[in-house]
């Protein structure tokens, strides 16, 4: 079973829920797909077992090129710029490539009539894997300055072990990286805080998941701050509240020193394993 943890708003507690849930279950795999800002490993202190590069195929132009411009015409992301030869200005033909814009689709090499485009690997990040106690753990890291998170997220998801309960920690928001992280999961837990900000982004996330036809429920974190609007919304939309985590000094202190509160407060280990029971039941009934 694959459970993704998403949120809409950032900083609501995705990592808190993902990592505490993982350490409260057996036969579990945790995948950190927030590759632009992975932080599950800060709580698990893993010893890296393997690091795999994540490469993107980018075009390299061969001498055979006659500057016809078909490749740049084809490229949706304008990663190629063809300078046609201009004898008047004494400008020789040239093709500029912008690897940072390239999505690696390979279309340019297919449309090139002269076979003048070869593809070469460009590394944009890594996927690390480790065993932390009983938890099988992998996390992606997109290199600083790289704009494309999705290829790294896909590489993290290639690690999915179908024999385990898989927990996917998604990035915040509702854009491509989130869609790719939650896609294919059996259930999505949306973590929110009971504030107008939390609610606004929760609504966007709920709409996204409904579009993707992924059953979902809500964990309210930092219960006690804000207002009642998240509850009113969930009631009206018939969205299940799976768990509430109070705005609690002890939890915050443990979090800030990188300690999982489910390992220190036994009632929370039980709460998280109960959460898994609720998720499993909801996913089956969906």
Number of residues that bind other proteins (CB under 8 A): 17
Q: In what order do the strands lie in the sheet with 117-132?
A: 50-61, 117-132, 135-142, 28-32, 165-169, 2-6, 187-192, 216-223, 241-246
Measured from the CB of residue 118, what is the shortest distance to other proteins in angstroms? Answer: 21
Contact predicate 189/53, CB 8 Å: no
Residue 86 lies near other proteins (rule: CB under 8 A) = yes
Residue 68 lies near other proteins (rule: CB under 8 A) = no
Residue 257 lies near other proteins (rule: CB under 8 A) = no
SS3 of 143, please? coil
Residue 83 lies near other proteins (rule: CB under 8 A) = yes
Residue 51 lies near other proteins (rule: CB under 8 A) = no
Contact predicate 119/93, CB 8 Å: no
Among 67, 68, 81, 248, binds other proteins (CB under 8 A): 81
Q: Dig out the tokens for 140 from the structure.
A: 């992606």
Region at 133 (left for phi over 0; alpha for psi -120 to 50; beta for the rest)? left
Q: How far apart are CA 36 and CA 145, in angstroms?
A: 10
x-or-dash string of contact with other proteins, 120-139, rule CB under 8 A: --------------------
Choose between 148 and 191: whose C-beta lies nearer to other proteins: 148
Contact predicate 150/176, CB 8 Å: yes
Among 78, 161, 264, 284, binds other proteins (CB under 8 A): 78
Contact predicate 33/172, CB 8 Å: no
Measured from the CB of residue 68, what is the shortest distance to other proteins in angstroms? Answer: 13
Choose between 1 and 83: whose C-beta lies nearer to other proteins: 83
Q: How far apart are CA 246 and CA 223, in angstroms?
A: 4
x-or-dash string of contact with other proteins, 137-176, rule CB under 8 A: ----------x-----------------------------
Among 65, 68, 82, 239, binds other proteins (CB under 8 A): 82
Residue 97 lies near other proteins (rule: CB under 8 A) = no
- Stretches 7-15, 30-38, 71-79, 269-277: which one binds other proteins (CB under 8 A)? 71-79
Residue 90 lies near other proteins (rule: CB under 8 A) = yes
Choose between 98 and 143: whose C-beta lies nearer to other proteins: 98
For 96, counting Cβ atoms within 10 Å of its Cβ (0-12 exposed, 13-18 middle, 19+ buried), the class is: exposed
Among 91, 131, 252, 259, binds other proteins (CB under 8 A): 91
Measured from the CB of residue 84, what is the shortest distance to other proteins in angstroms? Answer: 7
The CA-to-CA distance between both ends of the chain, in Å, stands at 14
Q: Dig out the tokens for 246 from the structure.
A: 């109070």
Q: What are phi and psi of 52, to 5 degrees?
A: -110, 140
Contact predicate 113/102, CB 8 Å: no
Among 49, 50, 98, 284, binds other proteins (CB under 8 A): 98
| Residues near other proteins (CB under 8 A) | 72-73, 78, 81-84, 86, 88-91, 94, 96, 98, 100, 147
């Amino acid at each position: 079973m694959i459970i993704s943890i998403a949120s809409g708003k950032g900083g609501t507690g995705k990592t808190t829920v993902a990592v505490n849930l993982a350490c409260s279950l057996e036969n579990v795999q945790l995948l950190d797909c927030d590759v632009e800002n992975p932080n599950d490993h800060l709580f698990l202190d893993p010893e890296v077992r393997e690091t795999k590069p994540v490469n993107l195929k980018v075009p390299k132009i061969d001498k055979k090129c006659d500057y016809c411009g078909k490749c740049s015409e084809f490229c949706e992301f304008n990663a190629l710029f063809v300078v046609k030869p201009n004898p008047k200005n004494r400008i020789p033909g040239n093709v500029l490539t912008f690897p940072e814009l390239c999505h690696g689709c390979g279309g340019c090499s297919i449309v090139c009539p002269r076979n003048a485009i070869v593809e070469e690997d460009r590394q944009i990040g890594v996927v690390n894997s480790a065993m932390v106690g009983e938890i099988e753990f992998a996390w992606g890291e997109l290199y600083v300055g790289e704009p494309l998170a999705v290829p790294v997220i896909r590489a993290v998801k290639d690690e999915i072990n179908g024999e385990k309960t898989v927990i996917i920690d998604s990035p915040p928001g509702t854009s491509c990286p989130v869609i790719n992280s939650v896609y294919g999961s059996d259930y999505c837990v949306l973590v929110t805080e009971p504030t107008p900000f939390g609610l606004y982004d929760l609504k966007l996330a709920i709409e996204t998941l409904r579009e993707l036809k992924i059953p979902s429920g809500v964990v309210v974190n930092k219960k006690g701050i804000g207002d009642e609007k998240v509850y009113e919304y969930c009631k009206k939309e018939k969205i299940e509240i799976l768990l509430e985590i109070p705005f609690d000094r002890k939890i915050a202190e443990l979090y800030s020193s990188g300690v999982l509160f489910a390992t220190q407060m036994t009632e929370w280990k039980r709460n998280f394993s109960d959460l898994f029971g609720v998720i499993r039941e909801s996913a089956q009934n969906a």
